[in-house]
Each structure stands twice: as C-alpha cells, then as structure tokens.
C-alpha cells in the first residue's frame, strides 16, 4: 500500500467548503436559469460581426477568388483572404504549423476556411460571404485510411504527407506465443467519428488594444497555447495578445484547436474595430476537430484457462487533413492499445494518417476510447472461447500495482482492477422494466413496442486512461494566490489561466484555498494570460495540475504568513486553523487578519508532475505516462430485437479516483462521461461520405437525452496516488472509455450479434 499522504483535514474543518466538501458551484444556478453569459453573449458598442466562408468541397484547387462583389455590399467593412494574414499563414496545436489560417490555393477538407468578412450586422456579413466569387477545380478526395497506409506517397493530401505518426509497440515474441496458444480469437473493429457536441458553439470577441495589440475574449480550453499560435499569425509579439476566458459552453477536447481566434483578430486589426464571431450549430460542426474514427484489427492468443499469451494489434486513426492532435492521439492508442491487462507478448502497430476527411483531434478519452472498444470486445470473445464469464476472464488478466503496461512502464500506484470488477459483480441488478410506462421501453413514447421482442442483456467494460500530458511534454500549471484583509476579513484571491469549461475547476480551486489557508472568503479571478500558463483543461489534468499549483502557492503564502507570525510572537510551532494562527504549545496566538494587517501576502508557483518519456519509436517502450486511471462499467439494456432499438436500463460504474475533492462534481463527471460513451455506443456519429459530412446538425447528429441516459449506480474508490496532490487521480475521462464497450457488450448479450462497429445502428441489430 502507498505511503500515507498528507491530510488536508488538519487545516480546514469539514463542512466549510474545503477539499472533500461539495460546495455549490457559482455557475450552476445561472446555467440552469439560462442567465450564464457564454462567449456567444459577448457584445461591445461599435462592434462588427465577422463571418467565415468555408469550402464546400473536401478537396479542390482554388482557381480564382474575387472578393470585389462582397466589398460592394453596403455595410461590409472588410473581406480578407490568406493574402491579408499579417504574420505566419499557418498554425497548429502541437508545434507542427500545417494548418492555413485561410486556404492558400487549395482546400483539403469540407468546411476549411477560405475567406472572412466583417460587417455592421451578422446578416450583412453572411450576404458578403455569398457574394465572394470562388472558382474551384474539384479534385478526388483521399478518404480511405488503409489506402494511405498502403501508399502514403500516392495519397499525400498535404506537404507533411500521408502518415502522421506510426507508433509500434514490441514486447516479447508474438510468433512464438502464437505457436503455444491454445485459444485464439480475432476481430476487426470500427469506431465512427464522434463529435464533442458541446452546447455552446464557438464564439468570441476581438478588440483592438491601445498598445497596438489585441484583446481576445474567447471560449477555449488552453489560453496560453492559443496565444502561442495566434501571436505569430497576427504578426504580434506574445505580450501584445491579451487573452481572457469567456463563458465556455462545454469543450470535451473540441476547443483545444483554434477556431475563430485568429480570424476575429485579423478582422479587428484590419478594421480597427471590435469584431464578434459566433458560429451557429451548422458551422460549429465544421469549426472544430472531432474524435478520430478508427479501423482496428485484433488477434489474441491465450491458454485454455483464459490467460493471455499474446496480442497482435493494428490500429488506424483517421486524422483528416491537418495534424491537430493526431501525434499524441496515436501515441495513446499505441500505449493503451491492449488496456489494463497483463500480456507477455505484444505487437501493436498504430497509425495516424492524413486524409481529406474532416480534421480530427482531441476528444475526451483521446485515442484510448477507440482501442478500448476493441480490446473489451476481444476480452468478451476470449471469455466465450474459454467458457469463462466476462468478469472472470478480465480478473485473470487484470493489471495491479507492479504490473507492466505494453510500454514496459511499471504501474507504481494502486490499480485495484480485480477488486473493482468484484465490486461491480456484487452490485444488485435492476428489476425487470415496468412496461406500464412506455418511457421504460425501447423507443419510449414513440410506442414501437408494448414489450414485444424485448430482450434484456448485461455487459461489462473496463478502461484505462493516462492522466495529464504524456511522452516527455513539460507539463505544468501556474497559480498566483494573494491573501489580504478586505473589509476586515482575510480574503484569498486565486488567479490561474486554467479554463473552467464546465467541469467545476473554479469550485475546486476555492476548496483548495480554503483547506490550505483556513480562510472562508475566496475569490477566483477570471482566467487570463496575465498569469502564467496553466496548461489545458484536458487529459483529466486540471484538478491535478492547477489544483497542485494552487496548493503549492497556498503553501508558500502560508509559509510567509507563519514566518511573520513567528517573528512577531516568537513561536515556531505554528499552524493555521480556521482563520487563526495556532501554536502547538501556546494555543491561539492571533487571527489571520491580525497577522496580515495592511500587508498582503502574494505568491506564485508553478507545479509539475513527474517527468515522462517519449515512447521509443521502434519498440514503443518507455515510461510515457505520469498517472493512470481505471473505470469499470456494467450496462443493463433492454433491446427490441425485432426493431433493433435499445433502452439502456441502468449503468453501474466503479472508479478509483484516489481522493474525492468534490463528490457532487465528481459524480457529475462520471455521469457525463458515461453518457458520452453511451452516445458513441448507440447513436453519435458524424456520417462522412466521400469527405462530405451528411449530418451537420443536432437534427441528425443525435446525442443522448434524459430518456436515453439511465440512472447510475456508482461506487467510488479512494486509493491515494502518493505522487499526486491530495492523492487524487484525474477522473473526467475514464468513464467515457468503459461505458461504450459495456453497453455494446450488453446489446451483444441480448441479440447474439457480433457488433464490431460503433455506433450500433438499428439495422445492425435486425440484419
């Protein structure tokens, strides 16, 4: 068992809004009441409206482009093309600047931005776009990922090539193991293109600044990484790009890449006026990257009693036209390609490739989701081949603390997978559906059945996700904490650039400050770039990283404060307790306010997790991850086997989170992640044909409603990770992984169908 970790409870008594409590989040009531100001609600006097002309074709040469007719539209203030980009004409999220700010002579995916307009009214801006004359020479798009792997040169869609990253993993001797295997199972699996489907479309406001720079209020996940991409393209030094986080309506990875930031900045600098851009839902589907679709081939060999001997795996991820996050998504798919199971011989070939399909990048689960669907289907196939239950075959192969991952990395903190599976097994099953209410049946009030054809199924899923950034990235966060007396009361200000995207980080930051400094009044400053980099609100990392930075800054503030008290009172055995400075020997010495007086204490700290290594490019070996997190799901479904309609009756989950910081927020994350996984299992897919999106709207891109998402049974474990602040383990992504395979396994159980593709569609179930 891990070494005991520092207990925060010694400073903040429970029930005071500290770590472990569930104080109400400040944005909750506003959002429910429709009163929260999202980025799309921003406005300022004299602002113009920007709009983006996008390519209708997945691949075409731009023969000619005439903005003259658009400029002639009354009320139009600017029409810009790539020739008007003030600085670098390309940007990119992971250091590879391969994405044009505006298309240069060629478009490589449907929806690629071609030109911009700014006008007095949004409708005028749209008319200006319609007046821009673009002549395209339409080219045959490259859309087949396996064709790209077979002939990367011949299917090169952009200068960086056909294959974005090839990452092999080699452990042991697969050929020798294959000769020994008593049981061999195999499968080919596909994952469709999922969308983040955040409810607040891309929006923001760019305001020319007095210093000749630009003020940007935008909805993003990572202010500083935006800044690093925006400044060179606008031809500005980074210190003249001032960024503030606007109200974010969900992110899920879809706001890691830039959308309207550079465009609005260009229009504002060009016109000298504030410019607002706000996508509608249709444009949003083209305004951000999606989850990589995957095509996967798996073969497992095992002993007759179900112990895995080898895995032979190929994973191909379609990254679309530009690099975005494909390098790291491919790395995750490779390193986590066989999940949390001990397998002595492994061969994984993971590819990320360029095509003319919509660009794909970060989405909750980030490369681990796709592989999880495949490896969990394989575990069920192995169970069936060996005559074992799905839970037993998983337990027999489960990792635990001390196990090696496919990368050779030793899991050095608790990984209680076997216990989690047993806990899942011991949970009671839900009763048969009450069919007197149609809402309990597949199809709901659409009344496709009164019970006819309905069969129950139960399935399980296991997932493992890396937490924080991996593969050698210098991952850190910065926090500034200021403690001063305001209106007679000690008040803490916490300032980071960490993006609150709906996950509840603002509340967690407050809780940490209350716990560490023992004060009740905490203000969280708006996230902006006046403070150091916080890293992204992704990879389930902000409680760990920005939480860690806030904790470190608080400890520094506390140190200064206690030094002052020590100098004044002559005691060195001091601590803070509930707003008082306390000496172990002499008891309460003074209030925090007394010690502070008129002099504020302010400290800024950077926090880093332990360093990681790049995967070896030939063997895939290396300690590439900082922290790993497990979640397991059981899904119970009722399937109308004649019509192929599914009602998920219940989902149960067991997740180890190391330490619960805020139970309400945590449960929300597990519910939400499970719902997003349900969506991928049963309905969510951007349907792409020949590079063209067929369903760019919430009319036909379906996400689960409250009648699709069942009640959940949660069992949250707290095995602390000694390397992490408070022992916590990132929690946002893991439930997204395991819910999908659990639901599909349950549907397989009910129907007997193989179901090697998600989302499962009704026609797959009745074929």
Partner 1 sequence: MDFLRPLTWQDALAAKAARPGAVPIQGGTDVMVEINFGSAARRPEALLDLNPVRELAGHEELPDGTLRVGAGVPYVRLIAELGDRLPGLAQASRTVGSPQIRNRGTAGGNLGAASPAGDCHPPLLACGAVVEAESAARGTRLIPAADFYTGVKRNALEPDELIRAIRIAPASGPQYFAKIGTRNAMVIAVCSFAIALHPRERRVGTGIGSAAPTPLRATAAEEYLSTELDWEGRGPLPDAVARRFGEFVREAAAPIDDVRGTAGYRRHALAVLARRTLTWAWNDHRAARKEVS
Residues that bind partner 1 (CB under 8 A): 123, 126-127, 129-130, 280-282, 439, 442-450, 452-453, 642-645, 647, 682-683, 687, 694-695, 697, 699-700, 702, 704-708, 761-763, 766
Between 106 and 642, CB nearer to partner 1: 642
For residue 240, count other CB atoms closer than 10 A to its CB: 15
Between 215 and 640, CB nearer to partner 1: 640
Task: Provide, rounded to whole angstroms, the least separation between the CB of residue 120 and partner 1.
Answer: 15
Between 388 and 643, CB nearer to partner 1: 643
Give the helix/strand (H/E) hosting 176: helix 174-180
Task: Provide, rounded to whole angstroms, the least separation between the CB of residue 136 and partner 1.
Answer: 16
**What secondary structure does DSSP assign to 651-679, as a single string?**
EEEEEE-SS-S-HHHHHHHHHHHHHHHHH
For residues 246 and 174, is the Cβ–Cβ distance under 8 A? Answer: no
Task: Provide, rounded to whole angstroms, the least separation between the CB of residue 699 and partner 1.
Answer: 6
Between 317 and 678, CB nearer to partner 1: 678
Between 450 and 610, CB nearer to partner 1: 450
Q: At what angle do helices 505-517 and 542-569 cross, to 10 degrees?
A: 20
Between 313 and 709, CB nearer to partner 1: 709
Between 542 and 676, CB nearer to partner 1: 676
State how far the Cα of 607 lies from the Cα of 749, in Å rounded to an integer.
47
- Give the pairing type, strands 692-693 and 757-758: unpaired
Between 339 and 704, CB nearer to partner 1: 704
Closest residue by Cα to residue 248 from 51, 31, 50: 31
Judged by DSSP in three states, 246 sits in coil
State how far the Cα of 416 lies from the Cα of 622, in Å rounded to an integer.
23
Between 704 and 725, CB nearer to partner 1: 704
Task: Provide, rounded to whole angstroms, the least separation between the CB of residue 640 and partner 1.
Answer: 9
- Give the pairing type, strands 601-608 and 627-640: unpaired
For residue 610, count other CB atoms closer than 10 A to its CB: 11
Give the helix/strand (H/E) hosting 481: strand 476-486
Distant-in-sequence, close-in-space partners of 430: CB < 8 Å, separation ≥ 6: 636, 649, 650
- Give the pairing type, strands 521-524 and 489-495: parallel
The position carrying tokens 């869609």 is 157
Reading phi first (left if > 0) and then psi (alpha if -120 to 50, else beta), residue 460 is in: beta
Q: Which residues pair with 467 in a beta bridge?
A: 627
Task: Provide, rounded to whole angstroms, the least separation between the CB of residue 684 and partner 1.
Answer: 10
φ, ψ at 612 (rounded to 5°): -120, 170
Task: Provide, rounded to whole angstroms, the least separation between the CB of residue 117 and partner 1.
Answer: 11
Task: Provide, rounded to whole angstroms, the least separation between the CB of residue 68 and partner 1.
Answer: 18
Query: DSSP code of 10?
Result: G
Judged by DSSP in three states, 290 sits in strand
Between 457 and 644, CB nearer to partner 1: 644
Judged by DSSP in three states, 114 sits in strand
Between 425 and 708, CB nearer to partner 1: 708
Between 7 and 446, CB nearer to partner 1: 446
Task: Provide, rounded to whole angstroms, the least separation between the CB of residue 648 and partner 1.
Answer: 9
Q: Residue 764: exposed, middle, or buried by beta-carbon count in 10 A (0-12, 13-18, 19+)?
A: middle
The position carrying tokens 């805020």 is 662
Task: Provide, rounded to whole angstroms, the least separation between the CB of residue 704 and partner 1.
Answer: 7
Between 16 and 281, CB nearer to partner 1: 281
Closest residue by Cα to residue 626 from 332, 345, 252: 332
Between 1 and 706, CB nearer to partner 1: 706
Q: Residue 3: exposed, middle, or buried by beta-carbon count in 10 A (0-12, 13-18, 19+)?
A: exposed
Between 376 and 684, CB nearer to partner 1: 684
Task: Provide, rounded to whole angstroms, the least separation between the CB of residue 371 and partner 1.
Answer: 25
Task: Provide, rounded to whole angstroms, the least separation between the CB of residue 446 and partner 1.
Answer: 4
State how far the Cα of 383 lies from the Cα of 392, in Å rounded to an integer.
8
Task: Provide, rounded to whole angstroms, the least separation between the CB of residue 690 and partner 1.
Answer: 14
Task: Provide, rounded to whole angstroms, the least separation between the CB of residue 443 and partner 1.
Answer: 6
Say how many residues make up the chain.
Answer: 767
Between 121 and 568, CB nearer to partner 1: 121
- Give the pairing type, strands 294-302 and 308-318: antiparallel
Between 672 and 704, CB nearer to partner 1: 704
For residues 678 and 739, is the Cβ–Cβ distance under 8 A? Answer: yes
Q: Provide the token pair at 717.
A: 């474990």
Reading phi first (left if > 0) and then psi (alpha if -120 to 50, else beta), residue 502 is in: left
Closest residue by Cα to residue 195 from 686, 662, 649: 686
Range list of β-strands (E), 24-149: 48-54, 60-66, 76-80, 90-91, 99-100, 106-107, 113-119, 133-138
The position carrying tokens 């059945």 is 449
Task: Provide, rounded to whole angstroms, the least separation between the CB of residue 438 and partner 1.
Answer: 9
Task: Provide, rounded to whole angstroms, the least separation between the CB of residue 647 and partner 1.
Answer: 6
φ, ψ at 479 (rounded to 5°): -135, 140
Task: Provide, rounded to whole angstroms, the least separation between the CB of residue 643 and partner 1.
Answer: 6
Task: Provide, rounded to whole angstroms, the least separation between the CB of residue 249 and partner 1.
Answer: 17
Question: What separation in angstroms does the CA of 357 have from each of 150, 230, 313, 316?
Answer: 18, 25, 24, 14
């Amino acid at each position: 068992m891990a070494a005991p970790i520092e207990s925060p409870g010694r400073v903040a008594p429970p029930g005071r809004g500290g770590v472990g409590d569930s104080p109400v989040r400040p944005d909750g009531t506003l959002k429910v009441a429709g009163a929260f100001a999202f980025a799309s609600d921003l406005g300022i006097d004299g602002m113009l409206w920007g709009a983006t002309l996008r390519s209708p074709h997945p691949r075409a040469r731009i023969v000619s482009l005439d903005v003259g007719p658009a400029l002639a539209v009354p009320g139009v203030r600017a029409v810009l093309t790539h020739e008007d980009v003030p600085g670098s004409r390309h940007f990119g999220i992971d250091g590879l600047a391969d994405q044009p700010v505006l298309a240069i002579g060629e478009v490589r995916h449907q929806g690629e931005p071609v030109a911009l307009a700014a006008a007095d009214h949004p409708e005028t801006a749209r008319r200006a776009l319609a007046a821009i004359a673009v002549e395209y020479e339409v080219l045959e798009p490259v859309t087949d990922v396996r064709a790209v792997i077979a002939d990367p040169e011949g299917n090169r869609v952009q200068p960086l090539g056909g294959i974005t990253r090839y990452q092999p993993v080699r452990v042991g001797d697969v050929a020798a193991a294959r000769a020994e295997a008593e049981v061999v199972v195999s499968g080919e699996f596909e994952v469709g293109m999922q969308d983040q489907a955040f409810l607040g479309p891309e929006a923001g406001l760019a305001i020319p600044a007095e210093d000749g720079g630009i003020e940007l209020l935008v909805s993003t996940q990572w202010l500083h990484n935006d800044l690093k991409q925006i400044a060179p393209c606008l031809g500005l030094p980074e210190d003249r790009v001032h960024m503030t986080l606007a109200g974010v309506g969900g992110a899920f990875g879809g706001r890691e890449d830039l959308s309207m930031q550079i465009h609005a900045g260009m229009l504002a600098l060009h016109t000298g006026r504030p410019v607002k851009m706000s996508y509608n839902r249709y444009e949003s589907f083209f305004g951000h990257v999606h989850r990589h679709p995957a095509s996967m081939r798996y073969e497992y060999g095992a002993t007759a009693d179900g112990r895995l001997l080898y895995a032979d795996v190929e994973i191909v991820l379609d990254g679309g036209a530009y690099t975005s996050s494909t390098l790291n998504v491919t790395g995750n798919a490779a390193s986590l390609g066989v999940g949390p199971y001990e397998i002595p011989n492994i061969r994984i070939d993971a590819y990320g490739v360029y095509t003319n399909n919509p660009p794909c990048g970060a989405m909750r689960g980030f490369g681990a989701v796709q592989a999880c669907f495949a490896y969990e289907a394989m575990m069920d196939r192995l169970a069936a081949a060996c005559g074992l239950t799905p839970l037993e075959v998983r337990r027999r192969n489960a990792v635990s603390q001390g196990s090696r991952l496919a990368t050779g990395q030793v899991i050095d903190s608790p990984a209680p997978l076997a216990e989690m599976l047993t806990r899942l097994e011991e949970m009671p099953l839900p009763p048969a559906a009450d069919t007197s209410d149609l809402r309990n049946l597949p199809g709901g009030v659409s009344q496709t059945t009164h019970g006819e054809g309905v069969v129950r199924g139960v399935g399980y899923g296991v997932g493992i996700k890396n937490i924080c950034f991996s593969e050698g990235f210098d991952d850190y966060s910065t926090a500034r904490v200021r403690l001063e007396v305001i209106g007679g009361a000690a008040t803490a200000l916490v300032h980071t650039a960490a993006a609150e995207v709906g996950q509840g980080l603002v509340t967690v930051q407050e809780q940490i400050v209350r716990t560490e400094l023992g004060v009740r009044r905490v203000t969280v400053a708006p996230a902006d770039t006046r403070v150091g980099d916080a890293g992204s609100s992704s990879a389930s990392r902000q409680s760990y990283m920005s939480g860690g930075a806030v904790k470190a800054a608080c400890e520094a503030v506390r140190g200064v404060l206690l030094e002052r008290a020590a100098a004044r009172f002559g005691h060195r055995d001091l601590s803070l307790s509930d707003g008082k400075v306390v000496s172990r020997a002499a008891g309460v010495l003074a209030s925090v306010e007394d010690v502070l007086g008129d002099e504020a204490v302010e400290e800024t700290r950077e926090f880093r997790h332990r360093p990681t290594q790049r995967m070896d490019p030939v063997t895939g070996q290396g300690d590439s991850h900082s922290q790993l997190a497990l979640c397991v799901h059981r899904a119970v479904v009722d399937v109308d086997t004649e019509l192929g309609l599914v009602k998920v009756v219940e989902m149960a989950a067991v997740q180890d989170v190391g330490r619960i910081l805020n139970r309400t927020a945590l449960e929300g994350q597990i519910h939400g992640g499970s719902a997003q996984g349900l969506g991928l299992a049963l309905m969510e897919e951007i349907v792409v044909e020949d590079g063209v999106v067929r369903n760019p709207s919430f009319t036909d891109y379906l996400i689960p409603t409250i009648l699709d998402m069942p009640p959940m049974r949660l069992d949250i474990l707290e095995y602390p990770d000694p390397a992490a602040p408070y022992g916590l383990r990132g929690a946002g992504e893991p439930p997204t992984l395991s819910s999908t395979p659990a639901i599909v396994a349950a549907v397989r159980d009910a129907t007997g169908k193989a179901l090697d593709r998600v989302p499962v569609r009704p026609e797959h179930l009745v074929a």
